[in-house]
Amino acid sequence: MKVSLIQMNIAWASPEQNRKTAEEAIKSAPGSDLYVLPEMWSTGFATQPDGIAESENSESLEWMKRMAASTSAAIAGSLAVQCADGSFRNRFYFVKPSGEVTYYDKHHLFTYGGEHLRYKAGEEKVIVEWAGVRFRLIVCYDLRFPGWARNHEDYDVLLCVASWPTPRVEAWRTLLRARAIENQCYVCGVNRIGNDPNCEYCGGTAFIDPYGNAEEAQKNAAGTITSMIDLTALNAFRAKFPVLKDRD
């Protein structure tokens, strides 16, 4: 499976502009089976979501559906969403070309930045299968909690989207590798670049194999990493060296 990870500069609270940026990035990397966008890719990381968060049936979600259909690929990324009951969710969507939508609501809200004050945490772990590959969905701060991301031999790829600031980017890089090695899986980590009202972001988007080898995007630059998920190689590695069988 060919996967493209999109490292983009997110314009603050500007969904239309960000949809255009994302569409250009996707079109610049044709032929992938999955395109992954960062956390809150349409607005930036909005801890004060009033007037910024989009509806559950937003134009950004409809755009994801149209792009999935037109590219015959899945499109993934999180949005700041206001639900019908008025609550806010950091919702990671995985949209298939058929129009089928699966989502995961971020479980570990970023208390240091006040995300927990306005958003409601999700409680369900979510795994979605696409083209024979099983993807576990997590968002940003979730990456720091290995128990939440633990592989119980039920996924092949850990998909993490983020708005991870520059001062802590080395933690991001290290944790991505740790999750790949300990869970004997591929890890796709997609981070943004640019600035919002609170933070600066330098990227660090990476595709990591089960051995911890990483292909990383250029620092402070918009760009796309395209790599291959090799299930045959992954399953052979797991059969030869069955680490997950000995997990706690």
Using CA of residue 138, residue 162, residue 57, residue 222, what is the dihedral sign? negative
CB atoms within 10 A of CB 153: 14
Query: Alpha-carbon distance 88 to 225, whole Å?
Result: 31
Please list the active-site residues: 39, 106, 140
- State the DSSP code for 47: S
Closest CA to 169 of 192, 149, 138: 192
- State the DSSP code for 33: S
What is the separation of C-alpha 163 from the centre of its chain, rounded to a whole number of angstroms? 10
| DSSP secondary structure, 53-112, as one string | SEETT-HHHHHHHHHHHHHTSEEEEEEEEE-TTS-EEEEEEEE-TTS-EEEEE-SS--GG
Q: Is 225 exposed, middle or buried (0-12, 13-18, 19+ CB in 10 A)?
A: buried
Query: Alpha-carbon distance 101 to 61, whole Å?
Result: 9
Task: Identify whether the C-beta of residue 76 lies closer than 8 Å to the C-beta of residue 37.
Answer: yes
- Give the residue carrying structure tokens 């609550």: 87
